[in-house]
Structures are given as structure tokens and as C-alpha cells.
Amino acid sequence: MRVLVYSDDASTREKVRQALGRRPAADVPLVEIVECATHAKVVQHFDSGEIDVAVLDAEAQPAGGMGVARQAKDEVHDCPPICLLIARRDDRWLAEWSRAEAVVPQPIDPVGLAETVADLMRRRLSTRLTAR
């Protein structure tokens, strides 16, 4: 499965990639990480229809992950599930506004992020099976 990781911070993208590894849980497929540092690339990848799950950094500049998530939910047909990385607990209400399916606080807990992304992968797989 293809997991999009969006952040303008290379170290944040690296932490996400390391937390997910090749397979975030034993019962989900191998992941291919697609890293993006710009909003334009995120839109391009979403439009391709090849992204299964997205992890978006809410603190990314100049386009934050929450706004990117909201735009994707409004504009992308069959939008993949989205996990937002948030820096402050008070940002949870904004994450709800963005319609992201999951939220993970920073600093990143590798186990927590892997479990969250694995859950989103399972959801994506189940929606594909029911769509057939």
C-alpha cells in the first residue's frame, strides 16, 4: 500500500518513515512511502488515485496539513484516510474540522503512529473489498 507522508521538515518525514518501517503491523501489506515536501506534490499524488493512506504534518509550511486534509476531503474522489500529526492537544478540534480520520501528537510515538496507520490501512482495505 502507498502511504503519503507530507511535511516540509525532512526530519519529520524521516521519523514517520522509520516508525512505519516496511510494514506497520503483521496483518497489513507492505508499505511504499511516498514523501512530499510541497502542497502541489500532495495534490498531484492525491489526484493520481494511487495513495492508500496519508500522514500529514499539521505544522507544515506554507500549507498546513489540516487545510490540505480539508481540501482533499472536499475535492478528491474516494479520498484515502488521513492521519494528522499535531503539535498541540488544543489542535484536536481543528483536526476534526479537517475531517481527518486520525490524529497523532508530536513528538511522534513510533508505536502509536504505526498502530494508527495500520488501522487506517485496514479501513482502506475493507472499503475496497466492499466496493467490489
Q: What pLDDT score does 131 carry?
A: 64
What are the tens digits of pLDDT across the range 24-35? 999 999 999 999
Chain mean pLDDT for the chain: 94
Domain ranges within the chain, ordered by starting residue: 2-131
- Report percent pLDDT > 90 for the chain: 87
Q: What is the mean pLDDT of residues 77-88?
A: 94
Class of domain 2-131 as given by CATH: alpha beta
Least confident segment among 37-46, 63-72, 120-129: 120-129
Range list of H helices, the chain:
10-20, 39-48, 65-75, 92-98, 110-131
